[in-house]
């Protein structure tokens, strides 16, 4: 289906232009003309593929979420044996951290989406579906780890899943503003994983 593939590729091209614009400080002042120029397509093409800026942004969010998921699944399935829960969580958290150009843009796409969702019930609804799905997946992995004896029995999988996802998000702010180094952020994630899995000991 070459036509279908082409359609999707063009939508991704436009959405990635929107993400680059969002990553330069927000989407408020960004016009259809700006998106078309950044994507190197005509305004008519942008209008053909998306009915509104919000539709573009929703597509961009789904695109970055899928892209991140593919990177994470790719890493996990390339491991020689089924990884322990701590390794799964570390892979997820490091991919969420704004360390690479891709993950920086993904993080800023989420911020842009969040700000527009404040004034758009439709976008807020979309967010309300995505985030809990990720939290539920992490909580499920932690519950499985508990049954396998990898995670202490007194940890609450839902609450811990929340924190595991919030920590890389928060650390990304400091990374983007140059307040933390990558090494510090990774050390922080390792500390919290160690304390969660009960593998932490004082030096």
Min separation Cβ 1 and its own copies, Å: 36
Residues 155 and 152: their CA atoms lie apart, in Å, by 6
Of 65, 67, 73, 66, the closest CA to residue 91 belongs to: 73
Nearest to 165 by CA among 194, 132, 198, 197: 132
What are the φ/ψ torsions at residue 50 (nearest 5 degrees)?
-140, 135
Q: Compare residues 13 and 130 and give the one whose CB is closer to its own copies.
A: 130
Site for its own copies in 161-200 (CB under 8 A): 162-163, 165-167, 169-171, 173-174, 176-179, 187-188, 191-192, 195, 200
Contact of 193 with 86, CB cutoff 8 Å? yes
> First-to-last CA distance in the chain?
59
Nearer to its own copies, 63 or 192 (CB): 192
Give the one residue of 33, 48, 66, 159 binding its own copies; rule: CB under 8 A: 159
4, 28, 44, 80: residue in contact with its own copies (rule CB under 8 A): 28
CB 108 within 8 A of CB 40: no
* Site membership for its own copies, residue 52 (CB under 8 A): no
How many chain residues touch its own copies (CB under 8 A)? Answer: 48
Binding residues for its own copies, per CB under 8 A? 23-30, 108, 111, 114-119, 124, 127-128, 131-132, 153-156, 159, 162-163, 165-167, 169-171, 173-174, 176-179, 187-188, 191-192, 195, 200-202
């Amino acid at each position: 289906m070459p036509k279908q593939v082409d359609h999707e590729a063009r939508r991704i091209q436009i959405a990635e232009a929107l993400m680059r614009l969002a990553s330069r400080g927000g989407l408020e002042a960004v016009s259809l003309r700006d998106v078309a120029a950044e994507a190197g397509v005509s305004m008519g093409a942008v209008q053909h593929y998306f009915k509104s800026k919000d539709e573009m942004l929703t597509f961009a969010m789904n695109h970055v979420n899928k892209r991140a998921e593919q990177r994470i699944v790719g890493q996990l399935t390339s491991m020689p044996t089924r990884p322990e829960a701590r390794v799964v969580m570390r892979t997820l958290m490091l991919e969420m951290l704004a360390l690479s150009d891709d993950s920086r843009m993904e993080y800023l796409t989420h911020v842009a989406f969040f700000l527009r969702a404040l004034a758009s019930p439709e976008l807020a609804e979309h967010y309300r579906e995505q985030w809990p799905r990720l939290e539920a997946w992490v909580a499920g992995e932690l519950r499985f780890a508990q049954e396998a004896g990898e995670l202490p029995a007194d940890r609450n999988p839902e609450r811990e899943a929340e924190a595991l996802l919030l920590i890389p998000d928060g650390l990304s702010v400091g990374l983007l503003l140059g307040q933390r180094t990558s090494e510090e952020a990774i050390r922080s994630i390792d500390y919290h994983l160690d304390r969660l899995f009960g593998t932490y000991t004082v030096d």
